[in-house]
Chains A and B, each alone.
Chain A
C-alpha cells in the first residue's frame, strides 16, 4: 500500500494519469460524434443493432487506448531512468519488484477507468439511439469486460519492455512497431499470431460480432500473466548497473 502511494506521488507532472483519462474521454466523445453524424448509415448495416453499437465504434476507441497504453507505459519508466532515479530506488529499503507491480496496477486501473468512460458513452447512445427494445445491457457489460481483458496483454507487454530500456525511444519504437504489425496481422486467422499482444488487442475491433471469443479471453489472460510475471522476475533478478 505504501509503495502504491509512493508510486502515485512519483507520477506528479508526468502526465500519465491525464493521458489515459484523456484516451477515455476522447473515445467517449468519438462515439457520440460518430452516432450523431452517421447514425442512420450505421444502423442500416446488415448487423444486429448491438453489434453495430459495439464493433463499429470500437476500432477507433481501441486505437486511442493502444496509443495511451504505449505512451503511458513508456512514461512510467522513463521517469525512473531520466535522472537515474531508479538507481536510488535500488539503494533504498524498498522492493523493486513491488514497485513494478504498483506501476502495472496504476496503469491497469487507469485503462479500466478509460474503458468504463467509453462504455458509459455507448450505454447512453444505446439507450437513446438504438431502435426500441434492441439495447441489451448484458451484451454491453460483456463487451466492456472483453475489451478490457484483450487490452491487458499489450499493457503488460509494454510495461515489461519499458522497464528494460533506459532510452525511452526503444519501448516507444517497439510499441509503434507492435501497433503497425498488429494492424497488418489482425485479420489473419493464423492462431499462432495470437502470441502477438497487439493482435490480441485488435481482435475485438476486427470481429463483426460483439460476442466475446472465449479462446481469445483465455489467451489474453495467459499472456497478461506471462508478461507481468516476466517483468517481475526481471525486476527482481536483473540489477540496474
Chain B
C-alpha cells in the first residue's frame, strides 16, 4: 500500500497531560482521510505535529518520505494547511494575504486567482481581511491551503463557522479535490455525518488514542457486526455509523472513568486490542 503520511506511536505529552497517545496512522496516497474525534481528542495536536508546529514527545512520523526538522522546507512546500482557525494579516486584503503566501511558495501570479476561485472568494478578494465575516475568513484560510494546488492538504475542521450552504459547498469542493488534481487530503471533524460524506478512510480518535482506523466500508461492516444496523431505521438515514461512533467513544470514556486501582493499563489493553483487531481485519482486506 502506498502511504503518503504515516505516524508511528506518535505521542504528545504536555506537562501532566497526554494529548496524543501512541497514534499510528496510515494515510493512503490520493485518498481523503477523515480524522474524527470529539472536541479535545487531540486531532489538532496531531496535525500540528505533522506540520512541525509543535514537536512530538514520542514516536515518529513521515510525510512523503520526509522527516522534521531536517526536511521541514521540502515538506512544507508540498503541504497546504489550515489548522484550527484561519491565519491572516488583518491589515491586508484577502488577495494581498494570498499573494504573501504565493511569494513564499514561489508560485506564478495567477495562483492567487485560482485559489480565490476554488474557495469561492473571488468577489471579496480586494476587501480587507479584518472586514471579512467569519465564513469568509474561513474561506480565506482554505484558499491559503489550496494555493498552488499542493499534493497534500491538511485541513483541521475547515467548515467551522460556515453556514449550511457554505458547509455544503466546501464539502463538495474537498470531495472533488482528488479528481480535480492529484492530491491527498487529511481532514478532521467532530462530526461523523460530515466525514462520512467525504472520506475514503477514517481514523477515530478519543482522548489522544486511535480507536479505529480503516475504510468507511470497514466501519460500516463493524457497525453491522456490533449490532448498530442502520439501514432499516426510519428515514433511511445511515445513523448506524453515528451510533457506532458514539458508542465507541462512550465505551472508551467509561473505561477511563472506571476504577484503575489494580491495573492502570487495563484500559490500554482493552482499547488497544480492539483497535488492533479492527486494524488487522482491515489490513487483511486491503
Residues of A bordering B, CB below 8 Å: 2, 5-6, 9-10, 12-14, 79-80, 82-95, 239-241
With a cutoff of 8 Å between Cβ atoms, the chain B residues found around residue A95 in the complex are: 73
Q: Are A12 and B51 in contact, with the CB atoms below 8 A?
A: no
Closest Cβ of chain A: how far from B140's Cβ, in Å? 10
In angstroms, Cα B87 to Cα A56, docked, is 48
Q: Are B105 and A14 in contact, with the CB atoms below 8 A?
A: no
Contact of A92 among B55, B74, B91, B101 (CB under 8 A): B101
Say yes or no: is B48 at the interface (Cβ < 8 Å to chain A): yes
Closest Cβ of chain A: how far from B145's Cβ, in Å? 9
Contact of A88 among B72, B87, B130 (CB under 8 A): B87
B:60-88 near A, CB below 8 Å:
72-74, 76-77, 79, 81, 83, 85-88
Instruction: Name 22 interchain pairs, CB-CB below 8 A, sorted by A.
Output: A2-B103, A6-B100, A9-B99, A82-B90, A83-B86, A85-B90, A86-B87, A87-B87, A88-B87, A88-B144, A89-B104, A91-B51, A91-B79, A91-B81, A92-B105, A93-B72, A93-B76, A95-B73, A239-B53, A239-B54, A239-B55, A240-B53
Say yes or no: is B278 at the interface (Cβ < 8 Å to chain A): no
| 6 residue pairs, one from A and one from B, having the closest CB atoms | A88-B87, A93-B76, A13-B91, A93-B73, A83-B90, A83-B88
Q: Are B89 and A85 in contact, with the CB atoms below 8 A?
A: yes
Beta-carbon nearest neighbor of B50 in chain A: A91
Residues of B bordering A, CB below 8 Å: 48, 51-55, 72-74, 76-77, 79, 81, 83, 85-92, 96, 99-101, 103-106, 129-130, 144
Q: Are B91 and A9 in contact, with the CB atoms below 8 A?
A: no
In angstroms, Cα B100 to Cα A5, docked, is 10
Q: Are A92 and B104 in contact, with the CB atoms below 8 A?
A: yes
In angstroms, Cα B91 to Cα A12, docked, is 7
In angstroms, Cα B48 to Cα A85, docked, is 15
Question: A93-B77, A241-B48 are known contacts. Are A87 and B83 too (CB-CB below 8 A)?
Answer: yes
With a cutoff of 8 Å between Cβ atoms, the chain A residues found around residue B53 in the complex are: 87, 90-91, 239-241
In angstroms, Cα B72 to Cα A240, docked, is 15
Q: Are A9 and B103 in contact, with the CB atoms below 8 A?
A: yes
With a cutoff of 8 Å between Cβ atoms, the chain A residues found around residue B129 in the complex are: 83
Q: Are A85 and B88 in contact, with the CB atoms below 8 A?
A: yes
Beta-carbon nearest neighbor of B132 in chain A: A83
Question: A9-B103, A90-B53, A94-B104 are known contacts. Are A84 and B96 too (CB-CB below 8 A)?
Answer: no
In angstroms, Cα B53 to Cα A7, docked, is 21
Question: A5-B103, A10-B89, A10-B92 are known contacts. Are A91 and B55 too (CB-CB below 8 A)?
Answer: no
In angstroms, Cα B80 to Cα A92, docked, is 8
With a cutoff of 8 Å between Cβ atoms, the chain A residues found around residue B144 in the complex are: 88
With a cutoff of 8 Å between Cβ atoms, the chain B residues found around residue A13 in the complex are: 91-92
With a cutoff of 8 Å between Cβ atoms, the chain A residues found around residue B87 in the complex are: 83-88
Q: Are B100 and A9 in contact, with the CB atoms below 8 A?
A: yes
With a cutoff of 8 Å between Cβ atoms, the chain A residues found around residue B88 in the complex are: 83, 85, 88
